[in-house]
Structure formats: C-alpha cells, structure tokens
Structure 1
C-alpha cells in the first residue's frame, strides 16, 4: 500500500513525551544526529548561517540559539567551525526534555562556548532570549500548524539577523528510503517509528509558503536540499552595499 503524503500527519511521536529518558532515548538521539550528519543535514544549516552572516564583520560576537537541540551535535559542529574560522560564537541549545539536555551537556563538556537550557518554548516563550540567529533543525515538524505560526512570530521578534529552519520534506520516496536506512543503521523500534512519523509530519513547499504568508515573513528563501529536506531562511535585514 502506497503511503499518503497529501496532508501532514497528526500522529504523535514517542519522543514528544518530554519525560522520556533512558538508554533507548540516548541511542535514538545519537543515531538521529549521526544520520543527519551523514546525509549532509548539518551542512544545510551551516550554509544558512553563513548566508545570514555574510554582511557581518568577522570580529562580531554572534549569538546563535538552537531550538530543539537534541544531543547538541549541531552546536558542536558550529563551535568547531567558529574555532577553525576564528569567529566569536556564543551558542545556546534549548530542548524540552531534561534527559536530552543533560546528555547534550555531557557530550559538550569540552566546549566552553556552548550552554544548554531545558524549556518548553510553547509554554515558556520567554525562555528564548534575544539572539542573532535562531536555528530549528528537524524540530519544527513536531508542532502542529497553529503552533508553527506562533513560533514563527516569536522567532521574528527574537532573532536579530534571522533564522534557519532545516526540516523534512513530506515524501513517499523519503518514507520508503528511511525504511531501508532503519535496516542499514540498525535503528531501535522507537527511532524507526518516530522517523517514519516525522516524515509524515514533514512539509511540502506549499506548507512553508503558507506559514510564511500567515506570519507576514518578507525576505525568506525556501530551497530543497538532499536528503529530502527543506532549508528555510528568514533574513531580517537586507545586505548593505
């Protein structure tokens, strides 16, 4: 039977339980990060950050906040990039699951430029402090349409330069390819179920355009990227000549 991707699924993921903890969750977080890295997901987000920083002086102190940071892999990637390029990044990760935050902290023990905060941003929108760039990697699909509009309004107010959203394309091809990946990577049952639901809760380009229009976003860009994901960038300010 061919999977129907016409509309976003409303089925919850196991990982949406913010009280979830233990080895199964730790394994899922690390596998998600590994697969995302292998398939070029971190590169997609980094490209967006470079675009938003293109008009900024190299000496500027840049605050970057990652919403739904998971095990912190994206933040560590950014810290390594900043060190290599002699940039000044202050990096913050926010996640609603305390076990996830503690795991991210343990993996980031050697990174003095990364801090973490446990907060449910829907219930605690003020937990997102003013920042230069907001990131949302493989997180937005966890929210329903109305919640997404609310988050975008908050992102606009909080991010001085803009935001970079990197999330899944809702695609039957992606769905069946992920089934193959489950076998190759030996994903546990939770990762397999949540991964398939994530794809069905992902987006079509028309969804992202609709959210942009409803949120009155002006200067935004949506690009399809491998592997079956969208890079969605809001730039708050035009580049000065």
Structure 2
C-alpha cells in the first residue's frame, strides 16, 4: 500500500542509513542490494560518459586522480577503474565515506588487482590532500540538505583541477512509487525499501539544481537528465 507524498519540495526526513546503528554485516547486505539497484538502473553510465568527454584528449598513460564522495560499497569506482584501464589511463582512485562499515564492504567487494584506496572521513575534511583531477559522487548529494549541497558544490569547484560530476536522482512521482513497488517485489532489505523512496523524495528537480548552483556562485555547470530518472550535474574546466 502506497502513501501519497507531496513531491513539490525536497523531503527533509533523515534516511535510516544515515541515522540507524546497524551491524557491519547488515550494512553490507544493504549496500549489496543497492549495488543491484544501481546495476538495474545503469547508474554508472552517465559518470563514465562524462569521464570519456573530460579525458577525450588525454594521451594513453596519463594518470587519472579521482575522488568519489560517499563511495559506499565502491561499485562506481570499480566501474571507473575498469573503464580507465581499458581507455589506457592510469587510475589513482580514492573512495571517501563517512560510515566505517563502507570501507570494509568496499574492500571485500573489490578484486585485488584494483588498487583503490578507501578512506573513512567526512568529505569536507580531506581538503585538497589528494589533488584530484576529478571529483565524482553517485547518490550522495541527496543525503545533504540544501546548505550542505551548496557547500559541496563550492568544495568541488575549489578542489578538483579538471572537473566534477554529480550523479543523483530526479525527484518524480513515477520514480518514487515505481521504486517502492519494485523494492517490494524484489524483497530487498527493509532499510533499502524504506530509504529508496525517501531518497527520491529527498532528490532534485532541474529547478533545484539551478537554484543551488546559483547559491554556490557556479554559472557554467550543465544539468542533464539520464534514463531512468537520473539528474546529473557536470562541470568541465576549460
């Protein structure tokens, strides 16, 4: 049974994943279900296409230093590592997540031949220590309130030398109710079934991004929609 929700504005309820204390094993189970969701929704495709555009003129053998904010179980960075290797780049990838269980889950899911660093920290605390060419995030921004989103945009603009990419959700009724139905059919973890629709309710419309970018003082970022119901923001430095 679905409960009607007003999606005119971003929801401000906290997701269980951000507030509930769960065991490492249960958290890993939730992240595994989220990886399935990302696979079904082709989540990596917009990010990889952005990186292909960004590095189009980079010669083979170039180093790609990239930081992923809110890296979770690390699926996005594994996709990026595989893509960069095929492209002939040398990936130097770092995943940053505030939850200490995330790093352990990411290490367990990552093949030993993928040299990816997993850091447990607040993304705002790492400064420019990693000197990244690129900063990416996937399904991270909607966990932040508007003030923190603006801070995140300003931080990426100041920290990434070549560009950044936000891969997140489009707040839309079809996505909201559709995910709730799919999660029930798939019998995903209760935390995922609760947080998935709420993530969409906390997500963005194009008008939200225009407003937030203006608040961050960024005028030359591009907002684009991707199937299914992904709303992404990219910035490529000249």
* Common fold by TM > 0.5: yes
Give the superposition deviation at 1:112: 3.9
TM-score (norm 2): 0.93
Aligned length in residues = 236
Q: Per the alignment, in what secondary structure is the counterpart of residue 119 of structure 2?
A: strand
Shift, 1:19, TM fit: 5.4
Indicate the SS of the match to 1:160.
coil
> Residues 86 and 119 (structure 1 numbering): CA distance in 2 closer, same or farther, change over 3 Å?
same
SS at match of 2:175: helix
Distance across 1 between alignment mates of 2:138 and 2:199: 12
Question: In the alignment, is the contact (CA less than 8 A) between 1:68 and 1:95 conserved in 2?
Answer: yes
Structure 2: runs of 5+ lacking an equivalent: none
Q: Secondary structure at the match of 2:162?
A: strand
Which structure 1 residue ranges, 5 or more long, are not aligned?
none
The 5 Å alignment of 1:33-182 reads 33-122=35-124, 124-126=125-127, 129-182=130-183
User: What is the distance in 2 between the residues matched to 1:158 and 1:57?
Assistant: 23
Shift of the alpha carbon at 1:89? 1.1
8 Å Cα contact 1:48/1:231 also seen in 2: no
8 Å contact from structure 1 (residues 20, 97) kept in 2 = no
Deviating more after overlay: 187-196 vs 80-89: 80-89
For residues 45-73 of structure 1, give each alpha carbon's deviation from its aligned partner in whole angstroms, at most 9, with x where no partner exists: 11111122123223311101110001011
**Secondary structure in 1 matching 2:147:** helix
Check conservation: 1:129, 1:158, Cα contact below 8 A.
no
Question: What is the aligned-residue RMSD (CA, Å)?
Answer: 1.7
For residues 25 and 128 of structure 1, do their structure 2 counterparts lie closer, same or farther at Cα, with a shift above 3 Å needed? farther
Structure 1-normalised TM-score? 0.92
